[in-house]
Structure formats: C-alpha cells, structure tokens
Structure 1
Amino acid sequence: MVTWQNIDTVMLDMDGTLLDLHFDNHFWLEHVPLRFAEKNGLTLEQAKETLMKRYRKAEGTLDWYCVDYWTEQLGLDIEMLKQEVDHLIAVFPYVVDFLDAVRSKNKRIVLVTNAHGKALKIKMDRTRLGGHFDRLICSHDLGLPKEDLSFWGELQTIEPFSKQTTLFIDDSLPVLRSAHAYGIANLLAVIKPDSKAPAKDVGEFKAIQSFRQIIPA
C-alpha cells in the first residue's frame, strides 16, 4: 500500500487518523449540548437542534475548528469543557509503533491538523505524542483550513515538501480531495475514524483499517 523507498515525508492528520474521533463526536454531539442546555434552560433535544444548525453553518470553515469562536458563540468555556471529558481522548492501536518505525527509516514526520492550538495542546498533553513529530502545524496558524486548496501552497512556504515523495493520511474526504487537487501523489484515507461508529465511505482513495497495515519493515 505504501512504497516506502519512494517516501521522504509523512504528513498526518490528528483527529480521526491518529486519535479516535469518538472523543470529538461525543464532545460536540453530547457534552456541549448537555452544558448548553444547562446554561440556557433548554431540554437536551432543544439544545441539540439549536447547536446542529450552528454547526452546519460553520462546517468546512476555520471557525468550525476554532475553540475561541465556539466559546464566544455559545457562551461556554470550550477549552474547559474539553478537559472535563479528556479521559475519552485515545490514540489508535499501532500508531506509536508506526511513528517509531517511520522515524527509524529517517523520514520527516509532520502533524498537519485543523484542530485549534488549544485543542492540540490538550490532546498532546493527554497522549504524549508530540515528541514523535518533527513539527506540529495547525491550519489556524496559516489562516486556512485544509479543505481550502490554497492551504497547501501556504503550507509549502513554511514546511517545504515534495508532492511526489510525501505521504499524507487523513480521515476527511474534502481534505483528501483538496490535497489531491494540489498534486500530493500519495494519499490514504481512514476507514473507521470513530471506533464507536460504522466504517465510513472512503470514496476514490485507498484506505487503512489500522496503522498496522503500513508499518515499514
């Protein structure tokens, strides 16, 4: 699935790729509605209905991923609420083995995430994965989400990479399609980004069930 001798850089998404998306889905679909309902005197169902409308408006934009944006919009301390359920943050099996093996092959390893810096810090503090990367890059630092084709050109200016010898793994089809349109040749999707949810459609992309499948020998 990966011809490792042709790869010199590995770029990895975080949520739904390295980390189980169950945390994020539970947080936004259950925990935030619960706290929003408590704050505003709503039933849980009323809160969910209100929030889903707001989520849909922001989806695919940088605001969707922004802790500060949702703190302001909802009147809730999103960073604190994440910490209330951070015990649900989980690294997928074989991720550390994969990262160690890739490091042993002298590949450059870069985390490229849409997650806000505050969310990234919470997750790195919880998982201790940060030391496995040569660099951690948040799309907020570039002012564009990965779904935007212009993101990749901006990324090139701060983290030069070869389109032909870079492997990029992400669980989002819009992000993968953006990377493909930019010309990144080696792309992999993730079949089951949320361990508690059904497998997802991976469209036209090759995909992994587990990082065990692509650990370099």
Structure 2
Amino acid sequence: MQTRNTYHSALIGIHWLTVVLIAAAYALIEFRGIFPKGTGAHDLMKTWHFMLGLTVLALLLARIPLRLAFRAPPTTPEPPVWQERLAGAMHLALYAFLVVMPILGWLTLSAKGTPIPFFGLELPVLLSPDKGLAKNLEGIHEWIGNLGYWLIGLHSAAALFHHYVLRDDTLRRMGFKRKPAKRLGRSLEATRS
C-alpha cells in the first residue's frame, strides 16, 4: 500500500533487489579475472553475470507497470522544478541502462553463438553467429557498463545529498518502513509491573 510519503512497497522491494543484483553482476564480471580464462570458476562467474543481468531485466519489466500504476510520492519539502527535471532525466537514463545492458549481453552471446543460460533454461538466440558483430556488441556493452558506474554513483550521491545536506525525504521515500523501537526504559518498567 502506498502511503503519502513512500513509494509502493513492491517498488521499494524491486528497487533494492535490483541494487543487490547489479552490485553482484558488476562484482562477478570484475573479479572473474582472478581465475584463468577457460577454467570452470571463470566460466561460472560469467554465467552468473549473464543470469543476474537477465534477472534485472525481468525485474524491470515488472517494475515499469507498477511505476506507471503508482505515482512517485511528492518530495517534502518540494524541490525546485529544475531538480525534478534533472531527477526525471536521471531516472530515465537509469531505466534505459537497465534495459539496454541485459539486451546487449544477450545479443553479444547470440552473436558469439554461445548458449544463453537462465537458471536451467536456455534462452533463444537472437542473432546469427558473427564474430565481428559479437566483438562490437561486447565493446558497446562494456562501454555502457562503465557509464553505468557513473550513473549509479551520481544517483546514489544525489540521494545522499538530499538526505544529509538538503534534509528532505527523497531517500526515505525509497526506504522500508520500520516499527518504532521501544525505549529500553519503558520495556524494563513494563517487566517490573
């Protein structure tokens, strides 16, 4: 249920699950070099990178209709129009990133003639094998992946800036609700009675 000050709980859950999956996908591809190319561990890390990327795409496909159905709660205090437009552009860039990256990965594997694994399933190949195209797609995928570090970093920095400097509720709107903690003194008094 959406309250006045927070996003819908499903959107909050999908947002934070996406954060975890993207962090894991980046970690897997960055640290695969620990293992020699062609080893089972190296290949396993790449496979998990592919599967997590495709999971992010699946989550985004669930997220978009939810986002359209449940409007963003207003920020309190209300920011200037230029900040709202900049935030909208950033969200659009992040959504584009979340769509383009997994699709580019899928296209790259297709052009390499490699099976596309997805948790025990093999997804359909989207292109005929073409090594030159695969190399170009992989380069674009890597370039956009590097751009993703900047997008994610700016998004995170903006959220923290709003929370700690502007002291508005931008970050709290995407947080999980918590029950207020009972004060220890009151709890002790209740047990003595």
TM (norm. structure 2) is 0.30
Structure whose residues are more often strand by fraction: 1
Structure whose residues are more often helix by fraction: 2
TM (norm. structure 1) is 0.28
Which one has more relative contact order, counting CA pairs under 8 Å at least 6 apart?
Answer: 1
- Look at both structures and tell me which one has the larger radius of gyration over its CA atoms: 2
